[in-house]
Structure 1
Amino acid sequence: MARTGINKQLVQQAKTALLAQGKRPTIDALRIALGNTGSKSTISHYLKELDEPPKATLERLTEPLAQLVQSLGEQLQAEANEQLSKTQAQFLLETTQLNAQLQRAQQHLEDQQHSIDKLTERRLTEQQQWQEATRRMEQQAQELSLAQQNNHELTRMLQEQHTKIALLENEQQHANLAFEQFRQARQELHDAIIQQHAKQITLLMEERRQQADLLLSSQKELVNLNRENARLLQQLQKIL
C-alpha cells in the first residue's frame, strides 16, 4: 500500500524530472526526488506500472480498438519521448547556461573575495601604519614635552646666567672704576715719589758739592799746614 502523500502521479513527475536532468529514474533516485518519502516497495510498484503498458485493459478491448489504443499509446509515447527529449535538451541548455552563470558568479565571487582579501590586507596594513604613526606621535609628544621641560630649564638657567653676567658686568665696571682710581692714585704717588726723589737728588748733589768744596778747602788747608810744618821743622833744625 502506498504511504500517505505518495501516488503514481507524484512518481511520474519525479521520474520525468530525473529524465529531464539526464539521470536514471532508479528507486533510490526517485525516493530522493520525492523528498525521502514513501517506501521503496511502493515506489517500485508505481515505477513498474509506469514502465509496463496496461495489458489487462487492452485484452478486454476488441482487437481493432486495442490496436487503435496501442497505436495511440505508442504515438503518445513517441510524443512524450520527443517532448522529453526537447525538455531534456532545454534542460541541458538551461543547465549549461545556469552553470555558465554559476561559474561567472563564482568567478565574480572569487574576484570579489580577492578584492575583499586585498582590502582586508590593506586595511590591516593601514591599521598597522596608523598604530605605528600613533605610537610615533605619542613618542614625539613625549619627546616634545621633555624638550619643552628642558627648554624651560635652559631658559631659567639662561636667565640666571644673564643675571650673573649683569652682576659681573656691574662688578667689572666697579672694578674698572676702582682700578682707574687706583691707577690714578698710583700715578700720582709715582709722580710724587719721583719729584721727591728728584728733590732729594738735587739736595744730595748740592750737599755733595758743598762737601767737595769743604774737602777742597780742607785739602788746601792741609797743604798749607804741611808747608807750615815743614817750615817750622826747618827752623827747628837750624836752631838745634
Structure 2
Amino acid sequence: MARGGINKAVVHKARQAILGRGEHPSIDAVRIELGNTGSKTTIHRYLKELEIQKPPATTSVPDLSASLMGLVKQLAEQLREESDACVEEAQKSFDVENAALNAHLQECQQSLAAAQQQLQIQGAALAAESAELATARSSLQSEHTRNATLSQAVGELNVRLADKDEQIASLEDKHQHARDALEHYRTASREQREQDQRRHEAQVQQLQAELRQLQQTLIIKQDEVTRLNRDNERLLVEARHVQRECQHLKDQQEQHALETRTLSANLAQSQGAREELQRQFQSQGQQLELVGGERRQLLKQVELLEQTIEALRAAQQAAAEAEKAQEQK
C-alpha cells in the first residue's frame, strides 16, 4: 500500500523522468526516483496501468479544440487519481480492520490457551482430590477393621478381668476362712492358757504376768492379721519380736521346768500353730498382691484401648466429614 501523497500522477511523472534519461523504468528505479517512498505493489500497479494506457488519437475528434482535449485529459486524470485515492483509503481501512481482527484473534487464542491450561490444572487437581478421597476411604476402611479388632480385644480383656475378679473373690473367701480358723485357734489357745494359768497361778505368778503381756501382744497381732493387705510386713516384724519374747519365756521356763513343763509344751505347740498360720497369711498376701498387680495391668490396658478407640472414632468422624465435604463440592 502506497504512503500518503503517492498516486498515479506522481508515478507517471517519475516514469517519464526515467525514460527521459534513457533508462528502463523498473519498480525499484521508480521507487528510488520517488525518494524510496511508496509500496512496490502500488508502484507496479500504476506502472502496469500506464503501460496499458494508449495515447488518445487527436484525429478521431476533429471538432474538439486542443484546449478542450486537454481539459478532458485533466478531468480523466483527476478522476483516476480520486478513484485511486478512494481505493487506497479503502485499503488502509481494510488493513486497520485486518490488524484489529488479527489482534483480537491472537487475544482469543491466548484466552483459549489460558482456558485450556486452567482446564488441565483443574483436571489435575480433580484427579489429585479423587486420589486423596480414595486414600481417605481406604484409611477409613482400615480404621473400621482396626476398630473392630480392638473392640474384640477389649471384650477378651473384659472376660479376663472378670476371671481375675473371680479369682480375687475366691482368694478373699480363702482369706476369710483362714481368719476364721485363726480366730478359732485364738479362742482355743486363750481357753487353754486360762486353764494353765488357773492351774499354776500359785506357783508362777511372775510367769503369769509375762504370759498376760504376751497374750495382749498376741491379741494385738491377731487383730492386725485381719488387715493383711496393709500390715503383712509389720505383722512379720512384730511376730519376730513375739518369737524373741517367747524364747525369753522359754529360757525362764527352763528355770521352772519341773513346775511348768506342761505349760511350756502347750506354748511351743501354740507357737508352731501360730507360725504356720502366719506363713499361710504371708502366702495368701503375696497371691493377693500378684492378683492385684495383674488386675491393675489389665485396667491400664483397658484404659489404653479405650483411648485408642476414642482416637479412632475421632479419626473416623473426621474422615467422614471430609468425605461429606468432598461430596458437597
TM range (shorter): 0.5 to 0.7
Tell me the equivalent position of 1:21. Answer: 8
Tell me the equivalent position of 1:120. Answer: 109
Corresponding letter in the other structure for 1:185 = K
Q: Does 1:153 align with 2:142?
A: yes
Q: Does 1:77 align with 2:93?
A: no
**Counterpart secondary structure, 2:201:** helix
Measure how far apart 1:86 and its partner are: 4.1
Measure how far apart 1:174 and its partner are: 2.4
Measure how far apart 1:172 and its partner are: 1.2
What are the superposed Cα offsets for residues 85-119 of structure 1, whole Å, 9 maximum, x if unpaired? 44135325xx2x44444333333332222222222
Quick one: structure 1 residues 51 and 160, their matched pair in 2 at CA, closer, same or farther if it must change by over 3 Å? same
Tell me the equivalent position of 1:11. Answer: none
1:98 and 1:32 map into 2 onto residues whose CA distance is 16
Corresponding letter in the other structure for 1:83 = L
2:67 and 2:191 map into 1 onto residues whose CA distance is 177
Q: RCO (CA 8 Å, sep 6+): is it higher in 1 or 2?
A: 2
1:99 and 1:130 map into 2 onto residues whose CA distance is 45
Measure how far apart 1:182 and its partner are: 2.1
Percent identity of paired positions between Structure 1 and Structure 2: 9
Measure how far apart 1:185 and its partner are: 2.9
Q: Does 1:167 align with 2:159?
A: no
Q: Which has more radius of gyration?
A: 1
Listed as ranges, the gaps of 5+ residues in structure 2 are 1-6, 20-24, 26-43, 206-255, 257-329
Tell me the equivalent position of 1:207. Answer: 196
TM-score by length of 2: 0.43
How many aligned residue pairs are there? 172
What are the superposed Cα offsets for residues 54-106 of structure 1, whole Å, 9 maximum, x if unpaired? 6xx9xxxxxxxxxx93x6241551342243144135325xx2x4444433333
Quick one: structure 1 residues 104 and 85, their matched pair in 2 at CA, closer, same or farther if it must change by over 3 Å? closer
1:199 and 1:101 map into 2 onto residues whose CA distance is 141
1:32 is aligned, of 48, 54, 60, to 48
Listed as ranges, the gaps of 5+ residues in structure 1 are 1-19, 37-42, 58-67, 220-240
Measure how far apart 1:124 and its partner are: 1.4
2:105 and 2:90 map into 1 onto residues whose CA distance is 21
Q: RMSD across aligned C-alpha pairs, in angstroms?
A: 3.7
Corresponding letter in the other structure for 1:21 = K
Quick one: structure 1 residues 51 and 149, their matched pair in 2 at CA, closer, same or farther if it must change by over 3 Å? same
Quick one: structure 1 residues 86 and 111, their matched pair in 2 at CA, closer, same or farther if it must change by over 3 Å? closer
Measure how far apart 1:156 and its partner are: 0.9
1:205 and 1:104 map into 2 onto residues whose CA distance is 143
TM-score by length of 1: 0.56
